[in-house]
Amino acid sequence: MRAALRKEKSWILVAVGLMAMGCFGFAMLGFVSQPQTDVILDSSEEIVVLDELELPAELDSNEFWQTRGFLVADYGESQKIYVEQIQEQVIQWKQKTETWILVPQEFTQTLYEGVTELVRILLENDYEVQLEQDEMGFTLGAISQLPGTNQKVVGRVWRLEMLNPTNHARYRLNYVPLLGGREWYDPQAGRRGTPQSPVMAVIIDDWGYDSQAVEPLLNYPFPLTLAILPHLPRSAYSAERGLERGHHIILHQPMEPLDSLQDPGPGAVRLSMTDQEIVDQIMDNLQSLPMAVGMNNHMGSKATSDQRVMGQVLGVLHDAGLFFIDSYTSPTSVAAHTAEALGVPYAVNDLFIDNSNDVDEIMAQIRRGLNLAKRNGQAIIIGHVRPRTASALWRMIPEIMDSGVELVPVSTLLVTPARD
């Protein structure tokens, strides 16, 4: 969708247009034709660098977005040369594009207010602008007139997006999307997992219940791995919403703990079950969450220490092509050893971050995870769907961005044994 705005129109119209885009998916306040690209470039023609109006100082730095509650996750500049043929005249002109990838510091923040303010400032400084919205963000263009003609073109462009789990791989990890799918190619694969390029996976356990933490965690701008308990009232909803937001989904498999008084919940695996009962239960749980790409254990200090039980559980994952994350609720766990023997991709939790429900202590644990990643090249930490855990993760965003550690789905940190 496209909207072109001129200074003589009240800047209030900007807000109306943005509201129309958000509510109705379309707004048209004017039109400027796009550059012609079907004219052969003549290298003998002079390239016209369009005159740029002087920008206010606050638009020349991070200050504009920082004062509106955003951090800058990525910034880039690029230039393109276009060709415009007007009657017998051929004009080659240069378009500059700035790309701003922004991180909100509150989970309710959107780009609407910031874009509205940006457009208002440009209009007040004699810019004529064009605004487009798509599912990823906004493209704002400053309209210029080609010298010696009446033709108007978009001479300067601002591409504005909020960082989210879907675009994180491209802008923070420099991954390249592969054609025909949602997979990513990592040109720096040789450096990933080393202290020079540390990464950390954050698993959030216990999805499936109503909680005030659900929306803040779903809106988290970095990728999380959501561990969904099976057969609960909000299990399917949480998995579907998490997948829509770009987070990875795994089954949070209930397993028998050492304390027999603790109830792991629906779909649990217990030592009293036969081999076939274990297989049937795991398959039933996985079928209830078809988007799951792996599994970790919920409780399970007794079950994960039993070779027979883990052999059956991991056998199902082997056949399904899924991975296992050992939450490591017991030092006697045989999960990693069994996964290695069966050829199942696996990893082991390094740290629980919210055994305490104090926000400052949870933040301290996240810092411990970051330090582990710096020291070892990678780390896996586990938290839970709790309001204070969500608050701590949001409050840690500036430190995470400054740490040099990138957050990744846990599937990127697997040990992959040779498979039969």
Statement to judge: residues 201 and 311 lie in one domain: yes
In a domain, 119, yes or no: yes
In a domain, 272, yes or no: yes
Decide: 251 and 285 in contact? Cβ < 8 Å: yes
Q: Which residues have C-beta within 8 Å of that of residue 73, sequence separation ≥ 6?
A: 101, 102, 103, 163, 171, 172, 221, 401
The last residue of a domain, from among 108, 130, 162: 162
Statement to judge: residues 199 and 129 lie in one domain: no
In a domain, 168, yes or no: no
Length of the chain: 420
Statement to judge: residues 217 and 360 lie in one domain: yes
Q: How many domains does the structure of the chain reveal?
A: 2
Statement to judge: residues 84 and 198 lie in one domain: no
In a domain, 175, yes or no: no
In a domain, 265, yes or no: yes
Q: What is the pTM of this model?
A: 0.85
CA distance 226 to 181: 21
Q: Could you give the C-alpha distances from 19 to 70, 129, 162, 199, 274, in angstroms and in order?
A: 21, 17, 18, 38, 59
Domain that holds residue 325: 184-413
Statement to judge: residues 131 and 227 lie in one domain: no
Partners of 202 in beta bridges = 381
Q: What is the pLDDT of residue 147?
A: 80
Q: What is the pLDDT of residue 56?
A: 66
Q: What is the pLDDT of residue 148?
A: 79
Supply 162's token pair. Answer: 């909020």
CA distance 297 to 304: 8
Phi, psi of 383 (to 5 degrees): -125, -170
Residues 128, 133, 134, CA angle at the centre, nearest 5°?
Answer: 150
Decide: 412 and 201 in contact? Cβ < 8 Å: yes
Statement to judge: residues 155 and 190 lie in one domain: no
Q: Which residue shows structure tokens 């696996």?
A: 346
Statement to judge: residues 336 and 208 lie in one domain: yes
Q: Could you give the C-alpha distances from 265 to 186, 289, 313, 347, in angstroms and in order?
A: 39, 16, 17, 24
Statement to judge: residues 133 and 214 lie in one domain: no
Reduce the DSSP state of residue 221 to 3 states and report it.
Answer: coil
Statement to judge: residues 114 and 209 lie in one domain: no
Statement to judge: residues 195 and 134 lie in one domain: no
Statement to judge: residues 342 and 289 lie in one domain: yes
Q: Tell me the CATH number at 244.
A: 3.20.20.370
The last residue of a domain, from among 162, 194, 219: 162
The last residue of a domain, from among 132, 162, 192: 162
In a domain, 306, yes or no: yes
Q: What is the pLDDT of residue 312?
A: 98
CA distance 19 to 362: 38
Statement to judge: residues 212 and 127 lie in one domain: no
In a domain, 298, yes or no: yes
Q: What is the pLDDT of residue 53?
A: 54
In a domain, 419, yes or no: no
Q: Which residues have C-beta within 8 Å of that of residue 256, sequence separation ≥ 6?
A: 264, 268, 269, 270, 271, 299, 300, 302, 303
Q: What is the pLDDT along the chain (420 residues), one digit of tens a residue?
A: 445 555 444 444 444 444 444 433 333 333 344 444 434 444 445 666 665 556 666 666 678 888 889 999 999 999 998 887 877 778 888 888 999 999 999 999 999 989 998 898 888 888 889 999 998 899 999 888 888 788 888 888 999 999 999 999 888 887 655 555 555 555 455 445 555 579 999 999 999 999 999 999 999 999 999 999 999 999 999 999 999 999 999 999 999 999 988 999 999 999 999 999 999 999 999 999 999 999 999 999 999 999 999 999 999 999 999 999 999 999 999 999 999 999 999 999 999 999 999 999 999 999 999 999 999 989 999 999 999 999 999 999 999 999 999 999 999 999 998 755
Q: What is the pLDDT of residue 18?
A: 47
